[in-house]
Structure 1
Amino acid sequence: MHRLWQALPARQRRLWLARGTAWVAPRPDPLPLPACGGVVVGGEIGRASGLGEAARIMDQALQRLGVPHSAIDTARRRPDARAAGWPDRAALVLHVNAPQLPATLIGLGRGRLSGRRIIGNWYWELPVVPTSWHPALAHVHEIWAPSRFTAMAFEALAPGRVRVVPPALALAPPVPSPLDRQAFGLPADVVVVLTSFSLASSFARKNPIAAIGAFRKAFGDRRDRLLLLKVGNSEHHGNDLLLLQEAIAGAPNIRLETRMLPEADMHALTRACDIVLSLHRSEGFGLVPAQAMLLGRPVVSTDWSATTEFLDESCGVPIGYRLVPAADPRGVFEAPGAVWADADIDQAAQALRALADAPGRRIALGQAAEAAARARLGGAGLLAALAAIGVPVPDPVARA
C-alpha cells in the first residue's frame, strides 16, 4: 500500500490526505465565542521553520503586549503539558497551514477545541490558493494572513473570514549574538552580499540562481566583493544543493554556508554583512528581508508580493520584474492560473554595484530600513485583530 501511495502524483497525495484528515478531524463550534480568555499560540515552536518562527514571534509579541496567552508546540508527538492549563474561552491561533491543520486538530483532540475560537494563521505565496487548502475551511472560524497580498488570495477562498495580521516584528525584533564578521570568517575589507533562504521553502520560489546571476553580472570575479549563500535544510534537498554548487562552480568570490546556526548567530551573521539580496519569485510575508531591515541592513528585493508592503524606494532597493506562470518542480507552489515574478537581473546587478561603491548610502539606507520596519511592522495589526475577537488587552497598551 505504501508503494502504491508513493506512486501517486505528489499533488494528488496532498489533496487526498487533506480531505481524509478533514473528514475525521473535530470541527469548531458553529458560532465563535468572544476570546475573553486570551490566546493560545500553536505551531512548530521548536523547529527552525518559517511557520515556527511566526509562532515564536507572536508568542513574544503577546508577552510584550501583556496579553494573556500560552503556547503549544504542535510538532510534538504528545500534547504539550501546558495544554491542560489553557484558559477557558482562549482563542487557539494555529500557525499550521491548511493542508496540515485537520491532522493537527486530530492530535489536539476534541476536548481542547470545545468552546474556543479556532483561527488559522496561514502563509501562502501565490495569488491563487490550491484545492488542497479547501477542506480545512470547515475547521476554522477565521483566517489570519501575514500580508494584504496573501489575504487577497484567502479572501477568494473564504469571503469575509480573513484578517490581515502581519507579524509584530518590531515587538519581537531579531536579537543578534555578539559574534562579529571575523567570527564567521568574513574578510574585513570586502563588501559582503548575503542571500539567505531555506531549501525547504522551495528552491524555485526563493530563486537563488537569480541572486547568483545578478552578483556575477555585477562583480565578475572581483575579490573585494563576496556573495554569501546561507542555505538552510540542505541535508534534505541534495538535488537543489547540487544545482547551487554547479551555479557557483569556479567563482572565487561566492561562498556557500550550510551550517544550521542558532537563531541569535544567524541574526549576527546578517548584521555582519553589507547588503541583503532577495530576488524571490514570491513571498507571503518576507521574514528575511524584514528582519534584515530591523538589523539596519540595506535590502535589494524583488518588487512583487508581500515585501512591497514594508519595503519601497524610501527604505530599500526594489527590483523590477516580469510575471510568469508559477512552476515549482516539487509541485507545492502551483495552482491553476497562478503567476509569480522573475526579477530583472540587469537592474539587480546595477543596484548591487551602486550600493557596493557607496558605503555612505548603505549606512543611510540601512537606517531608513530600520526606521521603516519599526513603523510598519509594529503591533497595530495584531492589536486590532485581538480586539475584534474579544481578547482583553491591558489598558496601558490600549491607551498607547
Structure 2
Amino acid sequence: MKAVPDLKVIWQSRWGLPIGYSLSSEAIALQLDQLGVDLFHRPTPWHMPAELNQPRLREIAARSLPDDALQVSYDQADLFYTEHRGYRIGYTMLEVNGLPADWIAACNRMDEIWTPSRWGAETFAAAGVYRPIHVMPLGYDPEHFNTQIPAYRLDNRFTFLSIFEWGERKAPELLLRAYCSAFSRNDDVVLILRINNFDRSISVSQQIANLRLPPDSPPIVILYNQYLSRAQLGSLYRSADCFVLATRGEGWGLPILEAMACGLPVIATNWSAQTEFFRAEVGFPVNVRTLVPAEAKCPYYTGWSWAEPDFDHLVWLMRYVYEHPAEARSVGHAAAAEVAQRWTWRHTAERIVARLAELA
C-alpha cells in the first residue's frame, strides 16, 4: 500500500516511556513512516522522563511542527491536545462500560474519534461522544511473536501462562482460584505468572497468601517484575501450552493477541475490546457472569462497570484444554494464521493511511 503524496500528519502521543500507549504509539509511527507518511511528533506532557532510543523516531521528533497538517492524538482522552488549528483526531480506549465526563468533553472537542474495537465505539457513543467514531484496530509485532520463535520449556508439564500487571482489572485472584480448583498436585500441570507490580502499597505475596489456596494445589511459578525483551517474551509464549487471562476489561488486549500469534490456544474473557479479534473459532472465550462495579485504583473507572468472568466456566475451560491438547493446538494454529493476516502493526498503519487519505 502506498501513502498519498504530501500526506502530513502530526502524531501527538507519548514516546520513550515503558507504558502501553508509548510502546504501541512508537510501533504505529514507524509503520506510518515506512508507508511514506510525512510524520511529525507533538509530545504529550508527562511526569516521567522519556528516553527515546529509536533513531528514526528521534529524527521525526526533531522536526518542526507544520500548521497545515492533520493531527492524531493517540493517548488518554484527557491528554488530547485540542488547540491544534487543523483537523483533530482523537485515538483512545478505555476498559470499562462508560467514560469520565472530562474524556467525553475532550472527545467532543475533536473532529472525529478513533478507538480500536466495535465494542469501544459502542461504549463511546452510548457515553455521549457525538463526534464521528471510527473503529481503528491496533496490532502486534509479527517479527517477535510468531510460531517460529524458539521455545525453552520449564519441564514437560502442561504449562499455562498468564502475563499481566497485578491489579483488580486482571482478576488474579479469580485465575489462581480457578487453576487450583481445576487441578491438584496430582495433575501434570504448572501455571507461570509473569507479573509486573510497581505499586509499593501492594504486597503480591500477601494477597496470594490471603487467598488460602488448597494445600494440594498444583505448582505456580511467578516471574516478578523481571524485564523481558520482546524476543524473550516471544519465547516465553512459545514455551507454554495455553495462555489464560481472566481479565475484567481490556482497551485492546495485546497479550491475548501476542499469545494467539505465537500459536497458543487462549482462554480469555468474552467481553471488551479483545472481542474484535478473539472469538470461539480462534480461542476459548470465558462466559461473563455479570457486570460489576469497576473498583480499582484508577479514577477513570469510577462509576462504571466491567465484566466478572464466570468462575465455573473458567475452571471448565482450563480443564478442557488440558484434557484435549490436540484440539487446543489446532485452535492455536488457526489463531496464529488469522492474526498474521489481519492484526499486525502494518495492518493498523494501512487502515490509518486509508482514513487519512480520505480526509486529505
Q: What TM-score range do you get, normalising by the shorter chain?
A: 0.7 to 0.9
5 Å-filtered alignment, 1:191-230, equals 191-199=158-166, 203-222=167-186, 224-230=188-194
5 Å-filtered alignment, 1:279-298, equals 279-298=246-265
Amino acid at match of 1:313: A
Q: Give the match for residue 339 of structure 1.
A: 305
Distance apart, 1:73 and its partner CA? 5.2
Q: Give the match for residue 320 of structure 2.
A: 354
Q: Give the match for residue 20 of structure 1.
A: none
| Alignment equivalent of 1:43, drawn from 6, 10, 13 | 13
Distance apart, 1:314 and its partner CA? 0.9
- Distance in 1 between the 2:33 and 2:247 partners? 32
TM-score of the superposed pair, with normalisation by structure 2: 0.82
- Distance in 1 between the 2:105 and 2:359 partners? 31
- Distance in 1 between the 2:312 and 2:41 partners? 46
Q: Give the match for residue 134 of structure 2.
A: 163
Distance apart, 1:320 and its partner CA? 0.9
5 Å-filtered alignment, 1:5-44, equals 36-44=6-14
| Alignment equivalent of 2:78, drawn from 77, 80, 99 | 99
Question: Tell me, what secondary structure is at the counterpart of 1:195?
Answer: strand
In structure 2, do the counterparts of structure 1 residues 390 and 194 end up closer, same or farther at CA, with 3 Å as the change threshold?
same
Distance apart, 1:264 and its partner CA? 2.6
Are 2:144 and 1:175 aligned?
A: yes
Question: Tell me, what secondary structure is at the counterpart of 2:73?
Answer: strand
| Alignment equivalent of 1:236, drawn from 199, 217, 220 | 199
Q: Give the match for residue 142 of structure 1.
A: 112
Paired positions, count: 341
In structure 2, do the counterparts of structure 1 residues 240 and 322 end up closer, same or farther at CA, with 3 Å as the change threshold?
farther
Contact persistence 2:162–2:192 (CA under 8 A)? yes
- Distance in 2 between the 1:238 and 1:194 partners? 26
- Distance in 1 between the 2:131 and 2:88 partners? 15
Q: Give the match for residue 55 of structure 2.
A: none
Contact persistence 1:326–1:339 (CA under 8 A)? yes
Contact persistence 1:38–1:392 (CA under 8 A)? no
Contact persistence 2:178–2:314 (CA under 8 A)? yes
| Alignment equivalent of 2:333, drawn from 364, 367, 375 | 367
| Alignment equivalent of 1:127, drawn from 97, 101, 112 | 97
Amino acid at match of 1:151: A
- Distance in 2 between the 1:240 and 1:131 partners? 33
Q: Deviations over 1:189-234 (max 9, x none)?
A: 11111111123xxx121111111122111112246211111112x1
In structure 2, do the counterparts of structure 1 residues 204 and 219 end up closer, same or farther at CA, with 3 Å as the change threshold?
same
- Distance in 2 between the 1:52 and 1:292 partners? 21
Question: Tell me, what secondary structure is at the counterpart of 1:42?
Answer: strand
Contact persistence 2:293–2:306 (CA under 8 A)? yes
Contact persistence 1:36–1:391 (CA under 8 A)? no
Question: Tell me, what secondary structure is at the counterpart of 1:84?
Answer: coil
- Distance in 1 between the 2:321 and 2:135 partners? 33
- Distance in 2 between the 1:140 and 1:344 partners? 38
Contact persistence 1:35–1:90 (CA under 8 A)? no
Are 2:253 and 1:253 aligned?
A: no
Q: Once superposed, which parts of structure 1, at least 4 consecutive aligned residues long, lie more than 6 Å away?
A: 78-81
- Distance in 2 between the 1:176 and 1:167 partners? 15
Q: Give the match for residue 27 of structure 1.
A: none
Distance apart, 1:355 and its partner CA? 1.5
Contact persistence 2:119–2:275 (CA under 8 A)? no
Distance apart, 1:390 and its partner CA? 3.1
TM-score of the superposed pair, with normalisation by structure 1: 0.74
Contact persistence 2:6–2:37 (CA under 8 A)? no
Higher helix share: 1
| Alignment equivalent of 1:276, drawn from 227, 243, 262 | 243
Distance apart, 1:174 and its partner CA? 5.2
In structure 2, do the counterparts of structure 1 residues 279 and 143 end up closer, same or farther at CA, with 3 Å as the change threshold?
same
Distance apart, 1:278 and its partner CA? 1.2
